[in-house]
Amino acid sequence: MAGSRRPRVVVVTGASAGVGRATVRTFAEQGARIGLIARGLDGLEAARQEVEAAGGRAMVLPADVADAAAVEAAAAAVEANFGPIDIWVNNAMLGTLAPVKELTPEEVRRVTEVTYLGYVHGTMAALRRMLPRDRGVIVQVGSALAYRGIPLQAPYCGAKHAIQGFNESLRCELLHDGSKVRVTMVQMPALNTPQFDWVKTTLPNHPQPVPPIYQPEVAARAIVWAADHPRRELNVGFPTTLAILANKIAPGILDRYLARTNYKAQQTDRPVAPDRANNLWAPVRGDHGAHGDFDKRAYAVSPQWWLITHRGWLAAGAGMLGAASTALWRRRR
């Protein structure tokens, strides 16, 4: 796919802000034709302008991914205008920041419908088009929270766990059918996105991602890389890998650690503004871009991700070092 002569056709959900917005910019640098799906029209229009300025082409497709018919219509519009979809990136999400005892059933349902069922709807729309052609890639944007739940984000963690299970089932089915359609999941660390400016919260202080924090461009580069490299699953950032491993080895200890630290870790020292808007039921107006409020604390690179994407070089270097060590040992003998 990377060597295709025609520009690649890509669909990104949650394209108006945060990781989705950064991903759109990265694909645009490659000249892709991109279908932009999100609820917020202001952010979608700004994303379209960025794509075209970078040399790509884009379609603005306002839609709520909780609506399966709307997602299907958006997919049809992309193919009618740009041609066959090569890559589908499921990224749209909602969350809450509140203990379960303070949530309503309607809030939990809303997060689940967008963050989990939105991925299901996007995946199904992509499969309807990719399976008959026997090609295409579906990238599920995940999180360390797909394996390890944390306090105050139960609906979001539950949805990410559900995506993980759904994706594993689908992968097995594709293997059974001998399909060349590929699915992959990219597990993310804490990211500096506008999510924390508009997530619905009942906590006293302004939300923040649990440090260490990475810039959304780190996530975007990983998503684009995953679309081109056949990997079952990818972790981005040492904190992601550490959280997943720690949960496998000592989940009970991790329970107690998170109970003790993660209420404070998910809040700044700044009180929540009384007129603060949230995006649970409707998008917050305006163009919010890719970055949140934590630029000064966010890392622009991930050494762990560099190691993953350069493991061929590392293997070659290790082989050369081993050969040199063997030669030296033989010479000394």
The residues that are catalytic are 143, 156, 160
How far is the CA of 184 from the CAs of 73, 89, 187, 235, 265, in angstroms?
24, 10, 10, 11, 30
Which amino acid appears at position 157 of this protein?
A: C
CA 176/CA 195 separation, integer angstroms? 38
Contact criterion met (CB below 8 Å) for 304 and 241: yes
Contact criterion met (CB below 8 Å) for 160 and 143: yes
How far is the CA of 120 from the CAs of 78, 124, 260, 304, 327, in angstroms?
18, 6, 34, 29, 55
CA 29/CA 34 separation, integer angstroms? 11
Contact criterion met (CB below 8 Å) for 51 and 33: no
Alpha helix stretches (DSSP H) within 96-234: 105-115, 117-133, 154-177, 195-198, 216-228
How far is the CA of 134 from the CAs of 6, 73, 129, 170, 180, in angstroms?
18, 21, 9, 15, 5
Within 10 angstroms of residue 103's Cβ, the number of other Cβ atoms is 16
CA 35/CA 62 separation, integer angstroms? 10
